[in-house]
Structure 1
């Protein structure tokens, strides 16, 4: 059960890769990504007409590749999850499927990183500084928002989101299901500060490349491509360990919830899977 409903591609899926670093929460409708992204990009950097044309070409090319090669994979993933759901769920199989689904974002980075880095090389020093400054401002804002809440308030907000998420899939939750979700939420590692450190570390690495005027194009593209694609290289060992532990907790929660589902809830989940498959089919054929 991972959230692909309505197939809105988040900024942390395509537009993040297009601007190298940013992690955002708003969504763009898949079929209008090229048009909509231009509005958001203006918040980070003023591109010349030629650069904007180059970026739109990258988005179009990446989207065409994504539609023809990646959406069929997502569709297969959903079908595989539905099959697992309707059998006796196996921990290793379910975990492998979730890991596979989460790896799709990396595929986008691997596809587009060279062209993105080449675009980055065309930016003037002032444009590069503007991009860095705006991303830094966003990171700072996120840190301030984090500090506005206590640890308990953050955990409570996450629990509310979790309950809403599972209600979308299951409908009304039983007391046992609510308890399982609450217990999993209490055990979840809050890695917000570690994620903040990761974003800052990665931005610092990008800044070293972007503001280095001595690099030729080949070295610039190579070094910026590393920043774009090698995300885990900028994560601390603690963050990586927390991510793995939270993944295991998530899979275990799915297994426990599966054992509590009523027939009505099972039918609802299967309908959700079918809706996702149908939506993906429409997007592939569009």
Structure 2
């Protein structure tokens, strides 16, 4: 259900990191989001009308209010990336990104609570049936697969992601990523445990929906606690991996060629320009 709760965040904040055109994908969100939602819960006509009305308002707000801020933020990163980001710069980027994410969540939460308050028992059953399928897929990808295969997959993902920003990596840069992949703490079982705990609590909250005050309060409390269900072991691994990613970035940054750095800066500014163009479209 966390994927559903964060649907706008995933689609709106990550669109610039996809291989698709930013402007093209963003302008399709009015049908991409309902299409994605329909995978989890089939809305009745009145629910669909409510959702589409709230979504239109949400996207208008996001285009007018948030996109110019994203553009300014990306230009600020590009300015610093021209000479290399420091640990302090990266920490500030993380704080600002978290702030953007929280703003999105705050803006959409009431609409989500209102929509799911109208769900029937049949729709709730459909939702958790789909979540069970997601859990099975997760297990196949991150638990049933050997550690060696998982590390190989992470390695390929990071190389692909890095080259999207820098162009082709050198052998030494690939070696640095390979070293990182070996030090990455696999978290499959711990994340599965957290997912299941979160889903169990979410289901309990949905069962309260006829008591609107209790339902509303419990829903907001769960969303305000992003660490719900995390074990101490998972938190330790997350912190370790976060530090390893930081060190990897700093190591790669020192090895960037002038053309690689220019590639990264130009891409940041290109996305910023796309966001400004989108903000001006109606």
TM-score normalised to structure 1 length: 0.84
Match of 1:44 in 2: 40
The reply on whether 1:134 has 2:130 as its aligned counterpart is yes
Change in CA separation of 1:13 and 1:281 when aligned onto 2, cut-off 3 Å? farther
The reply on whether 1:14 has 2:7 as its aligned counterpart is yes
Q: Distance in 1 between matches of 2:161 and 2:222?
A: 32
1:241 to 214, 236, 241: 236
Question: Deviations along 1:12-70, whole A, 9 cap, x unmatched?
Answer: 8435799xxxxxx9x99222212122222222212110101111122222222222222
Question: Deviations along 1:152-178, whole A, 9 cap, x unmatched?
Answer: 101001101111111122222112211
Match of 1:4 in 2: none
**Secondary structure, counterpart of 1:232 in structure 2:** coil
Q: Distance in 1 between matches of 2:65 and 2:188?
A: 33
Please say if residues 9 and 101 of structure 2, whose CA atoms lie closer than 8 Å, have aligned partners that are also in contact: no
Please say if residues 208 and 214 of structure 2, whose CA atoms lie closer than 8 Å, have aligned partners that are also in contact: no
Q: Distance in 2 between matches of 1:34 and 1:137?
A: 26
Match of 1:279 in 2: 274
Please say if residues 77 and 101 of structure 1, whose CA atoms lie closer than 8 Å, have aligned partners that are also in contact: no
Change in CA separation of 1:88 and 1:129 when aligned onto 2, cut-off 3 Å? closer
Question: Deviations along 1:167-209, whole A, 9 cap, x unmatched?
Answer: 1222221122111111122212222322222221111011101
Please say if residues 14 and 108 of structure 1, whose CA atoms lie closer than 8 Å, have aligned partners that are also in contact: no
Q: Distance in 2 between matches of 1:238 and 1:100?
A: 27
Q: How large is the RMSD of aligned CA atoms in angstroms?
A: 2.7
Match of 1:254 in 2: 249
Task: Name the count of aligned residue pairs.
Answer: 270
2:76 to 70, 75, 80: 80
**136-145 or 203-212, which deviates more:** 136-145
Change in CA separation of 1:156 and 1:206 when aligned onto 2, cut-off 3 Å? same
Q: Distance in 1 between matches of 2:207 and 2:179?
A: 47
2:147 to 147, 151, 172: 151
Unaligned runs of at least 5 residues, structure 2: 12-17
Change in CA separation of 1:157 and 1:210 when aligned onto 2, cut-off 3 Å? same
Q: Distance in 2 between matches of 1:173 and 1:233?
A: 38
Please say if residues 68 and 284 of structure 1, whose CA atoms lie closer than 8 Å, have aligned partners that are also in contact: yes
Alignment of 1:113-132 (within 5 A): 113-132=109-128
Question: Deviations along 1:69-113, whole A, 9 cap, x unmatched?
Answer: 222232222122112212353212222213422443332221111
1:169 to 165, 169, 181: 165
TM-score normalised to structure 2 length: 0.85
**33-42 or 258-267, which deviates more:** 33-42
Q: Which has the higher contact order (CA 8 A, sep 6+)?
A: 2
